[in-house]
Amino acid sequence: MTESGATGATSDAVRLRDDGAAWDEFVATAELGHFIQLSAWADILAPRGWEPLRIVTSSADGRIGAQVMLRRMRLLPWAYGYAWRGPVADSYSAVAIDAFTAAVRAEATRRRLTHVYVDPELPAGGPEAGRFLRAGWRRARGIQPSKTRVVDLGATEKELWSGLSSSCRNRVNKSRRLGVTVSVVGEEGLADFERLHDATVARAGIRRRDVVAAYRAFAARDAAVLLLERDAEGNAIAAILDVVCGRRVYELYNGSIREGPAASVVNYQIHWQAMMGARERGFASYDFFGTDLPNLATFKQQFGGEEREFAGGFELVTSWAGRLALAVLRRARGFTTRQPVNESSAETHANFLPKSEAMRSSRA
């Protein structure tokens, strides 16, 4: 890289750190950009004590950075950082990962961080995992889904319909015969969405999420689509909140009830319409965001697409004393070492899994 090129890359990294809109654009256009790395996600977590910090640098192979969510430790002088689905990069070369690691270490020193966790959606079995390990990171327990199912929306509607399993097509058609309808709604649908979410929470014994805050954070950026499925009497029986990152649509939250004549076909037509709506709006893919549990994977498999498996999480310990103190504190309080900030999988699991399995998922 020439001197002028290096200067330009450095100024671009500074712009991405300081300008939220520029950062969001970078994430949206990157090959492995993800909605969890968007500024909307930081807005959702901020009321719970998480502070966003963008660590961005550049190398000869381009830009690399992450939105790291920081949390101060109670009673102790450290903080720790989680960059779910980061870093986002032009390239995950050894040079780029080394540059990012150096930037993380420097920021960790300034802010007294015990460790920083990352889990970009790198394909399992690829060379990138080894590059993180050689840069000083270590394997860490997964937080976000390790697998997902993605539907390529570049296919025709006929091809996508054929990609559904025969039983899935039958249930979609049956729901239509029963008078079930699906519509896109805005703020007026939030009360029904909350009610369906709360029904899921009660049914599965999982942690309640602030689905309204999630909708509003992404809707404020024109990056949210809320769908409601209604039975023939007009009662809302299922809901899906989709969020957008670039040309990709992700299923973030959903909720449902299993009552009335349409109980056996709940969630089928709404998923099909979610995919078709995304396709009609010109998006390239629909990500079901998580297929870790067998029954969940079986349900989502009915909608076609391909399953993708990721390399997993990595942790860079930047203060061994602080990391040990955090582990001791968590054990003393009976906390799990896995942070409960996967904002999607608990609700998704609960809609399709037996109660016992859904409860195990929510505790993970």
Per-residue pLDDT tens over the stretch 18-46? 999 999 999 999 999 999 999 999 999 99
Choose which CATH entry (3.40.50.300, 3.10.580.10, 1.10.10.60, 3.40.630.30) describes domain 148-308.
3.40.630.30
Give pLDDT tens digits for 264-283. 999 999 999 999 999 999 99
CATH superfamily of 3-144+310-333: Gcn5-related N-acetyltransferase (GNAT) (3.40.630.30)
Estimate the crossing angle of helix 345-352 against helix 190-204, to 10 degrees: 70
What confidence tens digit (pLDDT) does each residue in 206-217 have? 778 899 999 999
pLDDT at 9: 64
Q: What is the tens place of the pLDDT at every residue in 147-190?
A: 999 999 999 999 999 999 999 999 999 999 999 999 999 999 99
CA distance 364 to 361: 5
Q: Which tens digits make up the pLDDT trace of 320-346?
A: 999 999 888 888 877 544 444 443 433
Residue 249: both structure tokens together: 């649509």
Q: How many CB atoms lie within 10 A of CB 314?
A: 24
pLDDT confidence tier of residue 10, bands split at 50, 70 and 90: confident
pLDDT class of 7 with cuts at 50, 70, 90: low
- The domain ranges of the chain are 3-144+310-333, 148-308
Q: Which of the two residues, 205 and 178, has the higher pLDDT score?
A: 178
DSSP assignments along 251-295, one per residue = EEEEEE---STTGGGTTHHHHHHHHHHHHHTT-SEEE-----SHH
* Global confidence as pTM: 0.88
One fold for 3-144+310-333 and 148-308 = yes
Q: Is the pLDDT of residue 363 over 50?
A: no
- Residue 104 near residue 315 (C-beta atoms within 8 A): no
58 touches 16 (CB < 8 A): no
The whole-angstrom distance between residue 198's C-alpha and the CA centroid of its chain comes to: 21
